[in-house]
Amino acid sequence: MVVESVGQDTYQDSLTSLAMRGTFVSFGSASGPLPPVDVNALAERGSLYLTRPRFVHYTSRREDLLAMASDYFSTLLDGTVRIRVGQRYGFDEVVRAHRNMEARATIGSSVLMP
């Protein structure tokens, strides 16, 4: 399985890396949108699966949204998922924070604090 958020620049390598009957999950397009995908090429590469999920399709019912949010926050609280905060900025440093992120001068999550 490949979970891909970059898009145009990397999707071809991601597809190539899949084993037979592998799944390609495209959820972002940071480098640009994917070009049209040839369905026959997916078959030729080993009966690959491709999906482009959208959050709203999984959370359109309130009970689904609440269940997913509960699961997410439970994994944060029980330590299953750890979020690495690489740097903290005061609200008065928002311009510097954006410049650092744009310059790829940050590691992990960046947090704005009062």
pTM confidence score: 0.65
Closest to 53 in 3D by CA, of 23, 81, 73: 23
Q: From the CB of residue 32, how many other CB atoms can be counted at a distance below 10 Å?
A: 11
Q: Model confidence over 64-73: pLDDT tens digits?
A: 999 999 999 9
Q: Model confidence over 92-107: pLDDT tens digits?
A: 999 999 999 999 999 9
User: Domain locations in the chain?
Assistant: 2-51, 55-82, 84-114
Which strands form 23-26's sheet, in the order they lie side by side?
Answer: 2-4, 23-26, 49-51
